[in-house]
Amino acid sequence: MPEFMTNIGDLLTGSYLQQGALWALGNIPGFPPIIQTVHILGIAVVMGSIVLLDLRVLGLAVPSQKIGEMTERVMPWLWWALASNFISGAFFLFGRPNRYFNNPVFGWKLSFLIPAILLALVFHVMSKTQTNYWEFNTRRIWTAKCIALVSLGLWIMVAMAGRWIAYSEYIYFPA
């Protein structure tokens, strides 16, 4: 884990943010499973937006939807879901900072998440510049397919790594 990450963990330890998160997690009845469910529902929207869009671009799903129209329609859902997941995730990050900022699996999650977000941003922004931008010519179609394939893999790995944060000992301290 890079040092600046563990530094963030140290900074948060004992802070008001940690105290607030721990208070909410410990005192609001059912708060941990509820907030985790909100987080998973956010992942469901990621699946329903960018993952389905990637599958569409690759020619594997929803063939009757136009790529340009679909991009405009589903991407706002992705951005809202990510905003929601940053908030729901923050309760757990702030509550037990070292469990995340000192955990290589969380590092992996971020290293999948950041390029995944950047690719989605590129795809969305370019799509706004011209109607059917990604279907304009063969070169763009193939660029879009490459982006979609990488994006698909990254989002799956984000969710995968997210779940494995709790199981890092299986990877780093195998029996």
Nearest to 1, CA basis, from 113, 96, 107, 110: 107
Tell whether residue 85 is a contact of other proteins (CB under 8 A).
Answer: no
Q: Is 45 in the site for other proteins (CB under 8 A)?
A: yes
Contact between 127 and other proteins (CB under 8 A)? no
> What would the two tokens of residue 47 be?
């699946």
Would you count residue 47 as binding other proteins (CB under 8 A)?
yes
170 near other proteins, rule: CB under 8 A? yes
25 forms part of the interface with other proteins (CB under 8 A): no
d(CA 3, CA 10): 10
Q: Does 75 bind other proteins (CB under 8 A)?
A: no
Instruction: State which residue, 12 or 54, has the beta carbon closest to other proteins.
Output: 54
Mask: binding to other proteins, 135-154, rule CB under 8 A, as x and -? --------------------
Structure tokens belonging to residue 14? 């004992």
Convert 74-86 into a string of H (helix), E (strand) and C (coil): HHHHHHHHHHHHH
Q: Does 73 bind other proteins (CB under 8 A)?
A: yes
Q: According to the binding rule CB under 8 A, does residue 107 interact with other proteins?
A: no
> Do the beta carbons of residue 158 and residue 39 sit within 8 Å?
no
- DSSP label at residue 164: H
- Piece of 38-46, 111-119, 121-129, 141-149 that binds other proteins (CB under 8 A): 38-46
Question: How far out from the chain centre does Cα 96 lie?
Answer: 20
The burial class, CB within 10 Å (0-12 / 13-18 / 19+), for 71 is buried
Of 50, 39, 40, nearest to 73 by C-alpha is 50
CB closer to other proteins out of 88 and 119 = 88
- For the bound state, the minimum distance from the C-beta of residue 49 to other proteins, rounded and expressed in Å, comes to 8
Chain residues that interact with other proteins, rule: CB under 8 A: 30, 32-34, 36-37, 40-41, 43-49, 51-52, 61-65, 69, 73, 156, 159-160, 163-164, 166-167, 170-171, 174
